[in-house]
């Protein structure tokens, strides 16, 4: 469950986590471990970060929100294209798409809830723009 009162760790990972750790005399290598768990190992929650002391994981969980989106729907087409419908902490929904090509992959991510373009083929623009996404909400789409 997400807590809107906690800052999202991915909104300003380097600044917020580093300054929080420094204030508590947490060694800098612990910040590097958290980054590795997020960006390389794709940890789903604090308890998966097993090389961090349990007490530190508890403190991090109390202070920072790790993930704020949940996958509401995942579809995959015959050509390998994958689409995720994500539910946000405030009830909004966004989509992100992974397009596979023979030589590369392309990801289309949302930067806003809703869309102001009003394209007739797209449901995202039916109600216009609701709000801009936070940095953390944007980064989460890439990490999923």
**How far, in Å, CA of 114 to CA of 125, rounded?**
5
What fold, for 9-63? Answer: DNA polymerase; domain 1 (1.10.150)
pLDDT tens column, 19-69: 999 999 999 999 999 999 999 999 989 999 999 999 999 999 999 988 889
Q: Note the pLDDT tens digit of each residue in 74-107.
A: 999 998 899 999 999 899 999 999 988 889 999 9
d(CA 39, CA 49) in angstroms, rounded, equals 12
The answer to whether the beta carbons of residues 133 and 111 sit under 8 Å apart is: yes
Per-domain residue ranges of the chain: 9-63, 70-143
């Amino acid at each position: 469950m997400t807590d809107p009162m906690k800052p999202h760790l991915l909104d300003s990972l380097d600044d917020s986590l580093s300054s929080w750790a420094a204030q508590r005399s947490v060694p800098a290598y612990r910040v590097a471990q958290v980054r590795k768990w997020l960006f390389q190992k794709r940890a789903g929650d604090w308890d998966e970060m097993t090389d961090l002391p349990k007490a530190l994981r508890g403190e991090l969980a109390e202070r920072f929100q790790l993930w704020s989106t949940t996958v509401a729907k995942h579809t995959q087409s015959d050509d390998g294209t994958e689409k995720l419908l994500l539910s946000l902490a405030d009830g909004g929904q966004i989509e992100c798409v992974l397009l596979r090509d023979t030589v590369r992959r392309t990801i289309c991510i949302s930067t806003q809830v809703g869309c102001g373009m009003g394209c007739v083929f797209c449901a995202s623009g039916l109600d216009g723009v609701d709000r801009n996404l936070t940095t953390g909400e944007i980064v989460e789409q890439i990490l999923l």
